[in-house]
Amino acid sequence: MKLYDAPGAPSPRRVRIYLAEKGIDIPRETVDLRSGEQLSDAYLHINPRGAVPALELDDGEIICESAAICRYFEAEHPKPPLFGTTPLEIARIESWTRRIENDGYAAVAYVLRNSVPVFAGRAESGKWPHLPQIPELATRGGIMWSAFIEAFDDHLAEHAWVANDAYSFADITALVTVDFALRAKLELPGDAAHVRRWHAEASARPSAAA
């Protein structure tokens, strides 16, 4: 088993934080995104999607998608549970994970992929035909980011962690998303005092350094 990993990118970090929270250690191989190694013939032979992270199983099967990789390990090592155990916990974690991805993470990706020169012609993650950047989509991403953070701050005013009383995969998703946004020079609009409180606590966990 081997994890194809990349420092600095948000999706592989989601898996690294998850594994650190679970205390799972597996071999990793770094893919150099700066040189475009994820789109090299050698890597596309391993993972035709041209994306990291990817989990290679011992028989060579590749599991793509950070959430799928984490769920693989959750089924192998259920404790401590990071996807919930009761129906309500499970539903809340999935609901917030999706909301953070669709409203927050997508907003940051809109901005970054459609404005940073290195992504010219590669405006969506993974292997695609030539996809030109769309400046108006970066603008849309900025609007969405502000609206998402405002709603997220309201939620965190009344909740210690994102989905339930305990830290979960939804917190991992949110931490990766907020740090991705800060790296992309997006701000936490207004006070966002509750997001800042939550972010400090999530960042203080040893797993955040993974």
Binding site for a second copy (CB under 8 A): 48-49, 55, 57, 61, 63-65, 67-69, 71-73, 75-76, 86-88, 90-92, 94-95, 98-99, 103, 123-124, 126, 128-129, 131-132, 134, 136-137, 140, 143-144, 147, 151
Q: Which is nearer to a second copy, 55 or 111 (CB)?
A: 55
3-class DSSP state of 190: coil
DSSP label of 3: E
- Shortest CB 32 distance to a second copy, Å: 23
3-class DSSP state of 193: helix
- Shortest CB 203 distance to a second copy, Å: 26
Q: Which is nearer to a second copy, 86 or 203 (CB)?
A: 86
Q: Which is nearer to a second copy, 6 or 107 (CB)?
A: 107
Q: Which is nearer to a second copy, 20 or 64 (CB)?
A: 64
Closest by Cα among 133, 151, 139, 138 to 188: 151
Query: 2 with 29: CB under 8 angstroms?
Result: yes
